[in-house]
Amino acid sequence: MTSSGSGESPPGLGLSLVSAAIEEYAAGHTSARGPELEALARETRQTLASPRMLSGPIEGRLLEMLVFVSGARRVLEIGTFSGYSALSMAEGLAPGGHIITCEVSPEHAEVARRHIAAGPHAGRIEVIVGRALEIIGGLDGPFDLVFLDADKSGYEDYYEAVLAKVAPRGLIVADNTLWGGRVLDADGADEDTAALIRFNDRVAADSRVSCVMLTVRDGITLIRRRDGDSVGGVVTPPP
Ligand X SMILES: C[S@@+](CC[C@H](N)C(=O)[O-])C[C@H]1O[C@@H](n2cnc3c(N)ncnc32)[C@H](O)[C@@H]1O
* Among the listed residues 37, 132, 148, 172, the single contact to ligand X using CB under 6 A: 132
- Cβ 231 to ligand X, closest distance in Å? 28
- Cβ 107 to ligand X, closest distance in Å? 9
Per-residue x/- marks for ligand X, 48-67, CB under 6 A?
-----xxx------------
112 binds ligand X (CB under 6 A): no
Cis peptide before 142 (omega within 30 of 0): yes
177 binds ligand X (CB under 6 A): no
Q: Among the candidate windows 65-73, 101-109, 137-145, 189-197, which touches ligand X by CB under 6 A?
A: 101-109
CB 50 within 8 A of CB 3: yes
- Cβ 28 to ligand X, closest distance in Å? 21
108 binds ligand X (CB under 6 A): yes
CB 142 within 8 A of CB 170: yes
CA distance linking residue 230 with residue 25, whole number of Å: 40
Q: Among the candidate windows 26-34, 97-105, 137-145, 214-222, which touches ligand X by CB under 6 A?
A: 97-105
CB 125 within 8 A of CB 74: no
Number of residues that bind ligand X (CB under 6 A): 21
192 binds ligand X (CB under 6 A): no
Q: Among the candidate windows 13-21, 99-107, 187-195, 227-235, which touches ligand X by CB under 6 A?
A: 99-107
4 binds ligand X (CB under 6 A): no
Give me the residues that bind ligand X (CB under 6 A), please. Answer: 1, 5-6, 53-55, 79, 81, 84-85, 102-105, 108, 131-132, 149-151, 154
